[in-house]
């Protein structure tokens, strides 16, 4: 919001009695002389070491790029160079939402889901990836070309809702191209309530019994449930995150097939 503002007024203060008027000198923001419709903000600058500088931000679809021009002796070529770099980035690179590629809702087949009623929902898995995670690849590459790395980190606090339990990151040709947090949706915990039976007077309402204590034989059951949940989480993660999703991915990339072209210059970046 700040770098997209054209003008701003600082009202008088107890130190400065007069109103101060500020103006953004970025020509893409002012849309004067030079114009780039995808530009959403920027800042000009100058220092003795960096000389004339120009920082610009442009967004096309979900892809947002930042361009920085430095060490320029004048401002005459800054905007044309910025425009050329933006066009190169938008024309040769694509952005991929990780949650649509990795989450279980996009899974076409799984041994846990058959023609019978499933025990677990494919669209309501407790393990998901952050919806704000993306990766950017050249159009000559596909999602399968990216190398995936998964790291786990226990949540510092087991709270209700989404807990970060790890991170999934991607590299392409040795360069980091994107990533997302792995989330565990911790639903509200169920409590097990036990009541003491009134054997002497079975007709008496059990609600009237006092001094209720947990029944001893329930402890192994509770421990078994906890162990089962832990194993279930590991199994869900393996099935929903690690299992190949080739059929769905091919359909996803088919939409972008017309945009892919050879990009030999990527190795020089």
For the segment 18-39, the average pLDDT, to the nearest whole number, is 78
Look at residues 114, 103, 108 and name the one whose alpha carbon lies nearest to residue 185. 103
Q: Is the dihedral of CA 103, 66, 43, 7 positive or negative?
A: negative
Query: Is this model's pTM higher than 0.85 or not?
Result: no
Q: Calculate the average pLDDT of the chain.
A: 74
211 φ, ψ (degrees, to nearest 5): 70, 35
Query: How far apart are the C-alpha atoms of 73 and 100, rounded to whole Å?
Result: 45
Model confidence band, residue 18 (pLDDT cutoffs 50, 70, 90): confident
Model confidence band, residue 176 (pLDDT cutoffs 50, 70, 90): very high
- The DSSP letter of residue 200 is S
Query: How far apart are the C-alpha atoms of 53 and 72, rounded to whole Å?
Result: 7
For the segment 123-146, the average pLDDT, to the nearest whole number, is 83
Q: Are 237 and 127 in contact (CB under 8 A)?
A: yes
Q: How many CB atoms are closer than 10 A to CB 79?
A: 21
Please give the residue that has the higher pLDDT: either 159 or 177: 177
């Amino acid at each position: 919001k700040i770098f997209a503002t054209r003008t701003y007024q600082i009202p008088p203060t107890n130190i400065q009695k007069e109103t101060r008027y500020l103006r953004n000198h970025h020509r893409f923001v002012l849309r004067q002389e030079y114009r780039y419709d995808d530009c959403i903000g920027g800042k000009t600058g100058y220092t003795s070491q960096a000389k004339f500088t120009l920082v610009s931000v442009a967004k096309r679809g979900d892809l947002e790029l930042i361009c920085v021009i430095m060490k320029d002796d004048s401002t005459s070529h800054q905007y044309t160079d910025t425009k050329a770099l933006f066009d190169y980035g938008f024309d040769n690179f694509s952005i991929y939402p990780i949650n649509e590629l990795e989450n279980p809702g996009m899974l076409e087949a799984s041994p846990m889901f058959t023609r019978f009623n499933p025990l677990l929902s494919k669209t309501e898995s407790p393990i998901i990836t952050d919806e704000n995670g993306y990766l950017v690849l050249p159009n000559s590459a596909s999602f399968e070309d990216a190398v995936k790395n998964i790291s786990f980190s226990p949540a510092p606090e087991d709270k209700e809702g989404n807990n970060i339990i790890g991170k999934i990151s991607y590299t392409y040709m040795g360069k980091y191209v994107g990533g997302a947090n792995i989330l565990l949706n911790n639903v509200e915990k169920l409590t097990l309530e036990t009541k003491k039976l009134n054997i002497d007077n079975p007709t008496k309402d059990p609600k009237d019994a006092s001094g209720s204590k947990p029944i001893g034989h329930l402890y192994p059951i509770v421990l078994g449930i906890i162990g089962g949940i832990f194993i279930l989480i590991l199994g869900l993660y393996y099935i929903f995150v690690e299992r190949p999703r080739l059929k769905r991915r091919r359909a996803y990339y088919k939409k972008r097939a017309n945009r892919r072209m050879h990009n030999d210059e990527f190795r020089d970046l």
